[in-house]
Structure 1
Amino acid sequence: MPAERAGGVPGDGEVLPTALVEDIAGWSGWQGAPWGRLRYRIVDHTLERVCRTVSGRPLRVLDAGGGDGTDAIALARRGCRVTVLDTSPVLLERARANAAAAGVADRVRTVDADLEDLTALAALTGFRAGGSGSFDLVLCHDVLQHRPGGEARVRADIATLVSSVRPGGCVSLLASNPAGDVMAAVVRRHDLPGALHLLDASAAHDPVLDREVQRVSPELAEAALVEARCSVDFRFGIRCFTDLVDDDRRKAEPGFYADLERLELAACDREPYLRTARSWQIVGRRRG
């Protein structure tokens, strides 16, 4: 079944970058690489913990900028009913195919829409008018850094996402970690001038998409969640150590990979390691 539409033409800030859509094969290769698999394994682990703290079953989940549905399908396997929102027909088609292959097509729906279209999405999905309080859990993973508009846009996007979750429900935000960028420049690339530049840079190069993205700090995300009347209930680091190992061949060795996965899962919520991970994940809970 094709993706539903919400609100007509998507807004000017597409939720997934065009470069990703144009290189599906490259994106799939990244997902299948050890570092890509670890990203999804760790996030599956953190979301399982978050879901245990949210009442109601089945959980109603919105994955904003959910792309090919990889995070959504993991949740659907746990019994959640997930709406994947994205502006890329190519990725939404892959999400539907992936859901069917995983046997969860009846629990995953796709909607061709942008974050600005959440009001229209509420009517489309049959939830309460306006979207307020519609979902038990809202995800916005690897999206905020790709949206133009700087800090003001980040705050506005997070407020919109919070408006779509019910009181007591959670919003999970995930983005590249500015501190992780600096650490990788020093430890992995030995690029000291580059690390010095990154200390105060507002943008950085995304090696997966080969494009500049804005740097969104976890402190900004937390402040925006608090402004939107959320408590900050979880802080995670996604890949605290993987990107500091400069020998990528070791990561493909089964024994090394298994040890690395155990270490990453054990450290993902521990200070100080989460502060310099490749990505940060912040989970807020909407107050009543």
Structure 2
Amino acid sequence: MVIFLFILCILLLVIYYFFHEFVVANNASLLAFFPPLLLWALILSVQVIFYSRAIQDYSIWLENRLSINREWEAWGSRYVSVMNSSLHLPGKVDVLFLSDDELETQYGLVNKSDDITWKQHDWYACFQTLTNHLELYKLPYQLTQEFIILTDCDESMYSQIEEDFFRTVEKTNRTEGHFLLYISPSMSFGELDLWLKDSEEKIYIVMVLQMEEQTSCSDAMACLMFATDDVTAKYKLTEKARIYRPMVVNSNNFNSDLNILLTHKKYPKMPPG
């Protein structure tokens, strides 16, 4: 319809150009000439209005989509910094006994602990050994320190563990800081996602106390200090490694998920050593 009116108007304009004296002199000709032209102009104006609104809506939709994609990419590239770590095994058993020199070179994890009274629940000595490697006194006092103690001991011993822990913290001369303590037999890897969502600025310190002489695994102690990427950047903390957000993988979409991972994830630098 619009095309037909457009062609009709073109013809009328051609007629008016060559026969304008006749058209102007004849009122009936004017009545026949202007209504189609006005109708076409009206329809064209409506079309332009709808088209401009469609363009505007599309521009808004496209900007929102790009913004969402940017937010998802930024969220997907977030990570938790590993600032310090140590592993302690009893007697002559150390990390070199379990693996080659690469771990020692990269992370400095090898550490014999002959001075620990193993298998006697000397929690105070354990915490002293672990906190000596953390250098808590160097941490910014503004940051809340959340300690998570993972242990295989009976829950009846939790109160003694808590008491010995705070005795150890007092020795660090950092009692002005804010400390949180949680004792649990295990921790899900999904906790890292929750840390990234937490708006409070924290240092997360995970201590593992495996001291129950289980036949399925060796006694051991370990300590890991974490901070989210924004806290690490804000306070210029030193990181030794990065753990990126857990990514749920569907086997049916593995190829596409792997492509997203390789495209958008940033690779951490290798630790010095």
| TM-score range relative to shorter protein | under 0.3
Larger radius of gyration: 2
TM-score, length-scaled by structure 2? 0.27
More helix by share: 2
More strand by share: 1
TM-score, length-scaled by structure 1? 0.26
